[in-house]
Amino acid sequence: MLGFLREWRARRRLRQRRIRVDAQRLSASNPKDAYYEAHRHFAKARSAGDPAAMLHWASVAAEVARIEPRAEMDFGVVLAIDDAEKQAHTRL
């Protein structure tokens, strides 16, 4: 049982580290649009039907919102990103 908990904790730490690194990378490249870029990745993962990637990019968006005070977070833009990805997916 103790081994299981250690493995679970190690996997959780690794997941959190990946989320933090991706959020920092997006924030460093374009702080203003980092939140939207995370949502673009989320929309692509949803179109691809990849629930693990969806969870990852939703967590990255939340982390960007937490660490980047300059990030814009307009829900209308997020909806537009979602609509654009849905249209791109239906064209395929």
User: Taking phi first (over 0 means left), then psi (-120 to 50 degrees means alpha), and beta for anything else, what does residue 49 get?
Assistant: left
Which domain, by its residues, includes 26? 2-91
Query: Which tens digit of pLDDT belongs to each residue from 26-56?
Result: 999 999 999 999 999 999 999 999 999 999 9
Q: What is the pTM of this model?
A: 0.88
CA dist 70 to 34, 54, 82, Å? Answer: 9, 24, 22
Domain count for the chain: 1
Mean pLDDT of 4-12: 95
Is residue 92's pLDDT more than 80?
A: no
